Amino acid sequence: MSRTHDAVCCVNQRRNARAELSSYPGAVKMKPIAALQALLAASQTKDPMLPPGELRFVLEYPGTLDLAVERVALESYLRSRDFILQPLFPDNDPDLAKFVVLRFPTVGRGLDRDQVFAVAYALVRERKLTSAEPDLGSDLFADPVPPGVDGHPEGAELLGPLCWVDAQPPADHWWALRAAGIPRAWSKSRGRGILVGQPDTGVARHAELDASSLRLDLAADILDGDPDPTDPLDSEAANPGHGTAVASVVVSGEGGRIAGAAPGAGLVPIRCISDVKVFDGAPVAAAVRHATRVGCHVITMSLGGLPSRALHAAIRDAIAKDVIVLAAAGNCVPFVVYPARYPDVIAVGGTNIDRQPWKGSSRGSSVDVSAPAELVWRAERRSPIDPIDGIGGGQGTSFAVALTAGAAALWLSHHGVESVLAAARSRGVTVQRLFAAALTATAARPDGWDCENMGAGIIDAGALLDLELERIPATGVESAADPDHIGALLDEAAPAVESAGVLDRSVFGLEAAALAFDRAREQRLSPGARAESPVRRAQASSELMAAATAAADGKVVALALYPRLERSREPLPPAAATPAVPTTVAIVGVARGGGLESHTALSPEAVHAALNGVDVGKRVEQLEKRVADIEREEGTTDPTIHRLRRDAISAVPTLLERFRKNGPDATFDSTERVSMEALVRLTDRPAVRVKEGRIDPDDPRLEGWRGTVSALRPAFPPILKAVGRIDMMGRHVGTGFVVAPGIVMTNRHVVEAFATPAPARRNPKRWLLSPDVVTINFSDTGDAVDGQFRITEVIFAGPDPIGAEVKASNLDMALLAVDSNNGKEALPAPIPLVDDPARLRAGGTLFVAGFPARPEDVPLDAAGKVRRDVEDRLWALFGTAYGVKYFCPGEASTSAGARDDDALRWLFTHDASTLRGNSGSCVVHLGDPVAVVGLHVAGDWLRANFAQSLAAVYATGRLPMQHAARMTWMSRS
């Protein structure tokens, strides 16, 4: 169930930043190392609930170093001994010994990206390093799985459904092998004597992976530091069993239900990632080095993410030692990911059974060649209890590169390793360069093939082995120079932006690349997002901004400011009270996700019930009045929007007549569905703007609610006045409301967007934040200076971290201390709370008061279909104002405790219209008494909204007595 929340952001801003960067929202006053020192001091033991991985940097020194001496220097600088300093590569190779890992086992990845980079740059300056690169756990790569499988995200974030091909795999289990020319090549070689190294999630027992094909004597688990590469098949992973599936495409024997491309080769599994969706450069670099040391002839990487100087060094070392290195181009994102993006790596894109590009394949000039990637038969085992003989059709460039690695093994075995080495030496090139030339020269090129973005063609292993070594086309002499692959990436990400200069790639290249991929993903997820919307933005460190500006690197500056939130803000008035807790970590930023809360559940039955028997003429009149009101408020001049609205109105009689004849069985296309939903929401579950602290009782959207609203309207103003928008540096992150003098209530997941729990995420002893940048604004528009108050402290929050799904057992509540006066206005009076959990039952009326924001992520329906068109068109028709205060009436769908998993009986559902930004809104009882009955916590798109009953929370004893005693609890009068 979608929700906007994420890890917090901790950043620092240089005081001497240039004036043109003054509006960039990354400003705070604490030095990055001081922030790290504070977390080290607060964190004594590793929190099991922290995001996967520990805070970790790969330090690159300009020369050799004494680790013992360096450790003493770092202890002094960090004022802590709670870190591990160790070589990344366990040997004395002079070219790789300069890479050292700095690990903080007790500090998880709670710091946001910009602050982590700020720490990295501080280390570069202090220790005079060539680079310091954090492991970010980038999520740019994952092979998609069918929508709904285990409820996990597919592909890169929410992009999986956009590239998944909803079809059955071909009946021929060898179709991909035939498409790649593999069976014909088997007449000359099956890959015997060749070792293929596979850095991945490891392998699990499977009938299609014979023990003789796995070289477990050479295997390794980089993550746990032992030789056992067994994949635990973690159910929380995005694609458990990934390594097993890929291995089967490389080396499965011919006698099973499927076959690998090189059934005679040996595969060396190296476990270096726990989830193919989470990519860290350091362990993958160590895995590549391990494969080289144990004598692998081919290294295939069905993984990817951001660049890593250490990984690139390990790859170049492997290539220099005549290992063939290949990587998957990537899935579901428009740019080729690393390491495939490195010019010296063979990058493999994906195709389908029709010899056309697979829809999910990453593309670009970095792709060297393509291979089957759509519905490729492979071993399938996703959990320990799954049968060990499952097979299925997989999708992703993981399988394309696996097939190509198999072809490389066939090629080496056919010609003989020594003969290939001799041929390469005679030309003055590496085996990698020689193989790439042969592979591209023999690739099949269908009519109309896109060579610019999909490489030379589709691999043809038969033709590859037919080509004699001496007839391989000229390859040219290799250069030791490192091409500017970061610059090429920036050119793709910001083609229209000119740069007069280039910033230091060794120091700033990783962060610049991260910004480029941020933009690529933004464009794919929300191509029509408006700049004024509170959309997810790249989080660039102030150090990068300053360096890019000084170097006149316009592309980096443009990427860091995309999409730019343009909002003029006056300075905050002086604080009226001293914060109760001193600032220890400066916190700023936004949650990465662009969550969706919910809209009303509008099934065909619900629409039919709402529209059955309505007066068509009256409904059209209502619709026309509403549209006229909107256009008058907006001053609408856009003819396209105007025409869209008029077309929707003119379609109403026809649509209602169809409903009259066919009832719930009536069908509608996408555009008609918009009109139907708009008709229902117009009077059934409206969202009404709050203006001057009130709602207009004559608003046409309140037609069905007018009686209730008119009778209770005098009780609304003090409630609406006490609801505010929570911002970080002016960025909307949620809603809150005053529940006691100086205390605001919101969700814990909203707090997680701007504060750091310490020493652990579970049962933290304190929350670290900066009161300079976190505010709540009670004005109707959410940005009036008079309505803005500083949030000074997190005084209570539910004990458990809030995950991506609604868990009835987790208390998603927080209480914030707020200045009682902002120098101009006093904090609004508290809203009274209902003291009886049973006061609101299923069918009871309510309203939600909060600040909905424009949705960012791609909404999907139950079938995994993208529903962005519906919501975008709906808001274009009936309102485009986000981040302002709304009154949203509805009904309770279930009473508190109705869910089977709600043992504490505190969760209820409602159907009021909400969106991202409503997190932390108050749910108010429309009855006797008119008081807050619940805290809105989350929603599932087009299905239901969830709230926690405050009275029920109080009854469990989870709401601290010292705070509850200050709140006003009301019973029926």
Question: Which pLDDT value is given to residue 480?
Answer: 59
What is the pLDDT confidence band of residue 526, given thresholds at 50, 70 and 90? very low
Tally Cβ neighbours within 10 Å of residue 149: 13
Tokens standing for 523?
């464009």
- Assess whether the previous peptide bond of 929 is cis (omega < 30° from 0): yes
Whether pLDDT at 672 is above 90: no
Q: Which position has the token pair 């000039």?
A: 365
| Average pLDDT of the chain, as a whole number | 80
CB within 8 A of 52, min separation 6: which ones?
109, 137, 274, 275, 278
Q: Looking at per-residue confidence, does 770 or 926 come out higher?
A: 926
CB 596, CB 2: distance < 8 Å: yes
Percent of the residues in the chain that have a pLDDT greater than 90, as a whole number: 50
Q: Is 777 helix (H, G, I), strand (E, B) or coil?
A: strand
* 742-799 pLDDT, tens digit each: 999 999 988 887 787 776 778 888 887 765 678 999 999 998 999 999 999 999 999 9
Select from 455, 417, 453, 449 the least CA-distant residue to 436: 455
What is the pLDDT confidence band of residue 708, given thresholds at 50, 70 and 90? confident
Tally Cβ neighbours within 10 Å of residue 274: 21
Question: Which pLDDT value is given to residue 17?
Answer: 25
Q: How many CA atoms lie within 13 A of 684 on its CB side?
A: 20
Q: Which strands, in side-by-side order, build the sheet including 99-108?
A: 84-87, 99-108, 54-60, 131-134
Pairing of strands 195-200, 266-271: parallel
What is the pLDDT confidence band of residue 45, given thresholds at 50, 70 and 90? low
Whether pLDDT at 815 is above 50: yes
Find the mean pLDDT for residues 361-379. Answer: 96
Find the mean pLDDT for residues 467-492. Answer: 84
CB 264, CB 412: distance < 8 Å: no
Which segment of 4-18, 334-348, 521-535 scores lowest on mean pLDDT? 4-18
Q: How many CA atoms lie within 13 A of 331 on its CB side?
A: 35
E strand or H helix that includes residue 549: helix 542-550
Which segment of 82-91, 102-111, 328-337 scores lowest on mean pLDDT? 102-111
Q: How many CA atoms lie within 13 A of 443 on its CB side?
A: 29
Pairing of strands 99-108, 220-221: unpaired
Tally Cβ neighbours within 10 Å of residue 105: 14
CB 376, CB 172: distance < 8 Å: no
Question: Which pLDDT value is given to residue 699?
Answer: 75
* 847-861 pLDDT, tens digit each: 999 988 755 444 444
CB 430, CB 422: distance < 8 Å: no
Q: For the residues of 407-475, what is the DSSP string, one character each? A: HHHHHHHHH-HHHHHHHHHHHT--HHHHHHHHHHHH-B--TT--HHHH-S-B--HHHHHHS-GGGSPP-
E strand or H helix that includes residue 506: helix 505-525
Which residues on adjacent β-strands are paired with residue 788?
777
Find the mean pLDDT for residues 646-661. Answer: 76
Domains of the chain with bracketed CATH? 26-134 (no CATH), 171-470 (3.40.50.200), 483-564 (no CATH), 604-684 (no CATH), 710-970 (2.40.10.120)
Tokens standing for 218?
């050479």
* Distance from C-alpha of 700 to C-alpha of 233, rounded to nearest angstrom: 55
* Distance from C-alpha of 508 to C-alpha of 491, rounded to nearest angstrom: 16
Q: Looking at per-residue confidence, does 689 or 407 come out higher?
A: 407
Q: Looking at per-residue confidence, does 112 or 47 come out higher?
A: 112
Tokens standing for 381?
């085992």
Tokens standing for 256?
């099973």
Question: Which pLDDT value is given to residue 234?
Answer: 87
Helices (H), 551-638: 554-560, 604-611, 616-634
CB 950, CB 963: distance < 8 Å: no
What is the pLDDT confidence band of residue 150, given thresholds at 50, 70 and 90? very low
Q: Looking at per-residue confidence, does 251 or 334 come out higher?
A: 251
Q: Which strands, in side-by-side order, build the sheet including 220-221?
A: 220-221, 266-271, 195-200, 298-301, 324-328, 346-351, 369-372
* Distance from C-alpha of 142 to C-alpha of 159, rounded to nearest angstrom: 10
CA distances from 473 to 323, 368, 381, 457 (A): 20, 15, 42, 16
Tally Cβ neighbours within 10 Å of residue 683: 21
What is the pLDDT confidence band of residue 28, given thresholds at 50, 70 and 90? very low
Amino acid at 867: R
Pairing of strands 369-372, 814-818: unpaired
Question: Which pLDDT value is given to residue 422?
Answer: 97
Quote the DSSP letter at residue 720: H
Question: Which pLDDT value is given to residue 232?
Answer: 94
Q: Looking at per-residue confidence, does 463 or 23 come out higher?
A: 463
Pairing of strands 369-372, 346-351: parallel
Question: Which pLDDT value is given to residue 415?
Answer: 98
Question: Which pLDDT value is given to residue 916?
Answer: 58
Tokens standing for 473?
């086309």
The angle at the Cα of 307, spanning 302 to 311, to the nearest 5 degrees, equals: 70
Q: For the residues of 826-893, what is the DSSP string, one character each? A: BPPPPPPEE--TTSS-TT-EEEEEE------S--B-TTS-B-HHHHHHHHHHH----SS-EEEEEEEE
Find the mean pLDDT for residues 323-352. Answer: 95
The angle at the Cα of 589, spanning 588 to 591, to the nearest 5 degrees, equals: 135
Which segment of 821-830, 836-845, 876-885 scores lowest on mean pLDDT? 876-885
Find the mean pLDDT for residues 689-709. Answer: 81
E strand or H helix that includes residue 14: none
Helices (H), 598-714: 604-611, 616-634, 639-662, 670-683, 706-712
